[in-house]
Structure 1
Amino acid sequence: MGTDERGRENAGGRTVPEKGEEVGMLDADDLRSIDETILDYLADGRVTPVYCQKRLEDENLKFTRGYVHERLARLSEHDHVRNLYETGLYELVDDPRESEGEVSKS
């Protein structure tokens, strides 16, 4: 990890926001393939990290529940999904692919 001009740590070229700092929306170029798959699941309805992980396994994609939770948390911090009552049940708020015209339904 390096640091940015304000001395904040960054990972992979992304600045880690300070607590309480406003975070912008993601766009389609910022998404990983797992993010797109999770967004597809969310387009069908609410999900939990365990539910996503099990569906990914059904599609022969191996990710830990913790990693799936991290991806949902990242989508949440950018206001694309909402963690309902902080229960781990997520719903889609704003699909970042729609603003780019790149939504693909599988």
Structure 2
Amino acid sequence: SSPANPTGAMLSPEELMALCTLCDRSGVQFISDEIYHGIVYEGAPRAACALEYSRNVIIINSFSKYYSMTGWRLGWLVVPDHLDKCVDALNQNMNVSAPT
């Protein structure tokens, strides 16, 4: 997660690019938790997005943190095309048989 909770530490764009490149070369799926990306304080640098460096990444994001929706868990994924059907099947199962 970058920025990381609770410290706010962030990977530099160069570090994120190196991780994406390493994963692409190694055939490893890179998952980027970008839930805090929309929260930027004045004068602070913007967090880099993994999609800036690779199209073969999974991005996890949310409305809940950015819009201060306490208690709500509303989010989305950005996935490579080859994972569309897998994510669709997962989503159907989560919505049809939600535990609560």
Instruction: Please indicate the TM-score interval, normalised by the length of the shorter structure.
Output: under 0.3
Tell me the TM-score normalised to structure 2 length: 0.26
Q: Radius of gyration: which is bigger?
A: 2
Output the TM-score relative to the length of structure 1.
0.24
Instruction: Give the structure, 1 or 2, with the largest relative contact order (CA under 8 Å, sep 6 or more).
Output: 1
